[in-house]
Chain A
Amino acid sequence: MDVVFGFVGYDFAVLVADRAATQQIIVQKSDEDKIAVVDGTKIMATSGPRGDCVAFAEYVAANVRLYRLKYQHELDVKATAHYARNELATALRKGPYQVNALLAGVDANGPELYFMDYLATCHRVNTGGHGYGGMFCLSLFDKHWVPNMSRAQAMELVDLCVAEVCERLVTAPTEYLVKIVDKKGVEVIEYDATERLAKRREVQMQAREAARQAAARVGA
């Protein structure tokens, strides 16, 4: 029941994942990092049993690193996605890795996001999500995602998505990790939904109150 989603912005890509490691109805841990750093400009959020996710993310990251050491240049995001998909496809017939992933990165072609599932689907997308939480976000992306979003707009959209998940999902986690990747590297934002959404609600209330007073003044 992981909540994992992400999208691309102007010169960056954002991935968001909750921090709960769960086993059936038990929350075993609430400070888990589900967004692996593949290399300086690529990150991968994974959803599924934690063991498979960690194993897969480490395997991909290690091979990307090996490639860089061997050939003295970095893999494109596209090549990394193709490689990761290939590994999922190979594993599918003998295992498989029960991992759904979102791979985001920035290279000479700009920011890119790839959607992958354990059946080895791979699509380049502008927005994407996994699990029930991800599904709630999809309609918000349809309505609110626009090309070339700024960082402020991106965080606004993350707020909207998390608010929706918290409102509609039975087992909504409250702790999230937001990672923003651009050509300079990865920025990590710890995101406490309760705190952040309360602040947001307060701002909205104040705005509504101000609007009401303004309307009353016009009426008088």
Chain B
Amino acid sequence: MARRYDSRTTTFSPEGRLFQVEYALESVNHAGTCVGLRTNTGVLLASEKKTMSKLLEQSSTPEKLWKIDKHIVIAVAGLNADAMILVNFARLVAGQYKARYGLPIPVENLVQELGDHMQGYTQFGGLRPYGVAFLFAGWQGGFQLYQSEPSGNFSAWKAAAIGASHQAARSILKTEYSEGLDISEAKGIVSKVLQKTMDCMSLTEDKVEMVYLSYNELNGEVELERILL
């Protein structure tokens, strides 16, 4: 029976649900875990890389972390192909804002624009929603961490997790998080979260991507640093 309401993204089920949006969320929940943590000097983003084969050519570009502008990085959980379209869109939006107002785009503006775009596919004309959730790390006078969902919803966090076993990750973050963490403490927490949520025995370098976004007071520039385990 479910099929009657499944095939159209824009049709509510009798219980008032949009199945396609929920399925999109489901595809996010099967993707590698992404964790974000705000510290007093920056934002740490980490994601689980699902390495498939040792025959696979190691690419130098990251799989799940993307730079949108000088001051924004995002972590992706979900369908990578969908994510790349949205990454392109986000870069376009950031560039257009810069051209229009001469300033880097405020993180919330970008998240909102992306949310509006993603929401469109839960309402209009027979296309499926994006099967992607994001964590946004950015700097705009202070550090920000946002999360967005396939439905177009977004929210701001001090620490957040998306992807597979994000609920477990979230509960660990809840107990471990405290105000005014420094980078090494944050790294410890993130490693612990990934260790617990990944279904492997040991956490190794090739399974994790980590980036730390911080602000350099001296030259007024946002710095992105690749963090190793």
Contact = CB atoms under 8 A, between A and B. Distances in A.
Mutual binders A and B: yes
Interface of A: 70-71, 73, 75-76, 78-79, 81-83, 86
Contacts of A82: 100-103
**Residues of B contacting A: mostly:** helix
A201 to B, nearest CB: 45
**Residues of A contacting B: mostly:** helix
A123 to B, nearest CB: 13
Contacts of B103: 76, 78-79, 82
B102 A71 contact: no
Contacts of B108: 71, 73
B102 to A, nearest CB: 3
15 contacts: A70-B112, A71-B106, A71-B108, A71-B112, A73-B106, A76-B103, A78-B102, A78-B103, A79-B102, A82-B100, A82-B101, A83-B100, A83-B102, A86-B99, A86-B100
A86 B109 CA distance: 20
A103 to B, nearest CB: 13
Nearest to B116: A70
A78 B101 CA distance: 8
A170 to B, nearest CB: 39
Interface string B163-199: 0000000000000000000000000000000000000
Contacts of B100: 82-83, 86
Interface centre among B99, B101, B109 (most CB of A within 10 A): B101
A83 B96 CA distance: 12
Interface of B: 99-103, 106, 108-109, 112
Nearest to B103: A79
A76 B106 CA distance: 12
A71 B109 CA distance: 6
Contacts of A86: 99-100
Contacts of A71: 106, 108-109, 112
B31 to A, nearest CB: 30
Nearest to A79: B101
Contacts of B102: 78-79, 81-83
A75 B106 contact: no
Contacts of A76: 103
A185 B176 CA distance: 45
Contacts of A79: 101-103
Given A82-B102, A86-B100, 7 more contacts: A70-B112, A71-B106, A71-B108, A71-B109, A73-B106, A82-B101, A83-B102
A82 B108 CA distance: 20
A83 B112 contact: no
A82 B97 CA distance: 11
A81 B103 CA distance: 11
Nearest to A87: B100
Sorted nearest first, the 7 A-B pairs with minimum C-beta distance are A82-B102, A79-B101, A79-B103, A71-B109, A82-B101, A83-B101, A83-B100
B132 to A, nearest CB: 23
A75 B109 contact: no
Contacts of B101: 75, 79, 82-83
A76 B105 CA distance: 12
A83 B102 CA distance: 8
Contacts of B112: 70-71
A131 B71 CA distance: 41
Nearest to B97: A79
